[in-house]
Structure 1
Amino acid sequence: MATDEIVQVNGVNVLHCAPDGPPLDGERAALDLIGDAGWRAAELVAVPVERVPEEFFRLRSGIAGAIVQKFAQYRLRLAVVGDISQHVDASPALRDFVYESNLGDQLWFLSGHDDLEGRLSPSR
């Protein structure tokens, strides 16, 4: 089992979460990650899509909103890393949510860690 680790990406402390860790399935899981990130002085948490349950991508469930709100409350950024195209293709509302999120700085949906590096590039 891989472990979560802190990685410096363009001067930003990023908590890279392992794919086989506990699912990000609600406020309790979000608070656990936020606590771990705070203890490790992370500024951004990168969660692989493998740890994000299907319900997160069904916006009506409210899980995504509750999780994002917790991260914002603690001034911590969140990136969901991996292929979510099947979810986006199935939901125009999710497609809009992903688009709007990626315009901001609080929540990003990125296809890979290379995209995260690009987002955190000083020249951006």
Structure 2
Amino acid sequence: MKTEIHNINNTRIADISSDSTIINSAQDALDLLGEIYYEDVDRLIIYERNITPDFFNLKNGIAGEILQKFSNYRVRLAIVGDFSKYSGKSIKDFIYESNKGRHINFVASQTEAIEILSGR
């Protein structure tokens, strides 16, 4: 797992990437939050490829469990990926509604994630 810290407008953003899945469960999300806590950041970029595919099946509740951890610890999250492949109405609605807020965003690029999380 690689962590890059972006310092933009006095805002620190952790950009987490890996060649493998990082988040398979709510516990993995908690572990990740624990790791970035020591980096003094409250904004996080993670990539769709690093999250279990089960996250995108809303029927199993994994997305809610994972995102609740970020909400509880007040860490803003941008998930970067190509979400057009998810054809279900519920996941499309979920992404749309999330993107209306400021806490969880689904974006197409790292640049877009940094812009949203830095308040540009």
Question: Relative to structure 1, is the Cα distance of residues 15 and 121 closer, same or farther in structure 2, using a 3 angstrom cutoff?
Answer: closer
CA distance in 1, matches of 2:68, 2:50: 18
CA distance in 2, matches of 1:7, 1:116: 11
TM-score normalized by the length of structure 1:
0.87
* Alignment match, 1:40: 39
After superposition, the C-alpha distances for 1:2-35 in whole angstroms (9 at most, x for unaligned) are 6112222343211111132542111111001111
CA contact (8 A) 2:98 2:106 kept: yes
* Alignment match, 1:113: 110
* Alignment match, 2:5: 6
CA distance in 2, matches of 1:36, 1:21: 17
Please, what is the CA RMSD of the aligned residues?
1.6
* Secondary structure in structure 2 of the residue aligned to 1:40: coil
Question: Relative to structure 1, is the Cα distance of residues 113 and 93 closer, same or farther in structure 2, using a 3 angstrom cutoff?
Answer: same
After TM superposition, the structure 1 = structure 2 runs for residues 42-121 of structure 1, keeping only pairs within 5 Å, are 42-87=41-86, 90-120=87-117
Please tell me the residue identity of whatever aligns with 2:18.
P
Count of residue pairs the alignment pairs up: 120
* Secondary structure in structure 2 of the residue aligned to 1:25: coil
- The percent identity for this pair of structures is 32
After superposition, the C-alpha distances for 1:14-73 in whole angstroms (9 at most, x for unaligned) are 111113254211111100111111111111111111101110000011111001101111
Structure 1 position 121, deviation (Å):
5.1
* Secondary structure in structure 1 of the residue aligned to 2:67: helix
Gaps of 5+ in 2: none
Please tell me the residue identity of whatever aligns with 1:97.
F
